Every structure is written in C-alpha cells, then in structure tokens.
Amino acid sequence: MVTQLTDDIGPAALLPALQSMGGHIEYLDSFASTTLAKQSSLRSLYEELLLRLSPIAKTTDEDEIFAQWVADAIADSASERAKRLADASPLPQTRHQIVKTFRRNPDVVAEVLLRAKGVCEGCRTPAPFQRPDGSFYLEVHHVKRLADGGHDTVDNAIALCPNCHRERHFGRPPNSA
C-alpha cells in the first residue's frame, strides 16, 4: 500500500499528509487506551511512511547549507549579488519537512532560571532585558544536546544570555584555535 501511495502521488506530495498523520497520532495518544487497534495500524502506516519518506524529508542539514550559501554570497562581488537580487523573486520558496522535537520539562527550565537569578551562567553578566512580566530574559541551554542523547535535567542545563546561547550553537568549540 505504501509503495502504491508513493508511486501514485509522489513522495514529496505525501510529506504534508505525513505531518498531519503524526498530529492525529499525537492527539489519539492523549486519550491513553482509546481505539488502540486503530491507533496501532495508523501508527504502523505512519512509521512505514516516515521510514520511506525520511530520505527526502531532510537529507542534509538545511542550516549548514544556508550558512554556506551566505558565506558564498559574502565572498562574491557586490555587482554579482546585485544581479542576483534584481532577478530574485520577493517571495521565498517553500519546502516541507518532518521535524522531531522534544517536549521539555517546564520544571527543569524553571529551576535553571531560578538558579541563575537573572545572571547569565556563561558570561556572568545580568540578563539583557526583562520580559513584560518582570522576569529576566535568559535562555535555557542543554550542555549535552537532547538530540545527542542529553538528559532534560537541571544538571544538564544552564541559563544563558542570547549571545552566549548563540555562541554555544554557532561559535567555535573550545580549544579549536
């Protein structure tokens, strides 16, 4: 059935349907034991489609590709960039992707923010601003990324100002001079 679907409709056209199906499964999961037989067959179809479509859903790291395009554009001449800008559509292209996200524990975030007391645990400077509710704006960062098997715990998280947080994600790693 999955092969026929992907052959008839095309794999890229199935991505939005797959995302929607994932949402339905998540909704059904919220009712615990309801419709287990239906849910298991739906989940089986979802997992089979996901396995089949995942190579086209995100074959490379889009952020890395975009960063390289920006670096290439910076290295190019102003006149070449101007030519491309003149020909470029003002409407961005769209793409569909399947993304795995983590539901973080709000108590971990709360404890880390309270521990920081409004001071960045990276650079030790006060938070850059306060939110409308008066709380200090810091971002909670996992030392070992959840995507890399890190735990969503207070011990694996620190409160950082936006600059330190971006540096942790995009800066040079320590000892990489």
| Predicted confidence (pLDDT) per residue in 12-29, tens digit | 677 777 777 877 777 777
- Whole-angstrom distance, CA of residue 22 vs CA of residue 134: 37
**Residues whose CB is less than 8 angstroms from the CB of residue 167 and which lie 6 or more positions away in sequence, other chains included:** 122
List phi, psi (to 5°) of 141: -115, 135
Q: What is the CATH number of domain 106-170?
A: 3.40.1800
pLDDT one-digit tens code per residue, 28-55: 776 665 555 455 777 788 777 777 766 5
Burial of 111 (0-12, 13-18, 19+ CB in 10 A): middle
> CA-to-CA distance for 123 and 171, rounded, in angstroms?
14
Q: What are phi and psi of 29, to 5 degrees?
A: -60, -30
Are 137 and 128 a contacting pair, CB within 8 Å?
A: yes
User: What residue spans define the domains of the chain?
Assistant: 2-57, 106-170
Q: What global pTM score does this model have?
A: 0.61
Over residues 46-71, the mean pLDDT reads 71
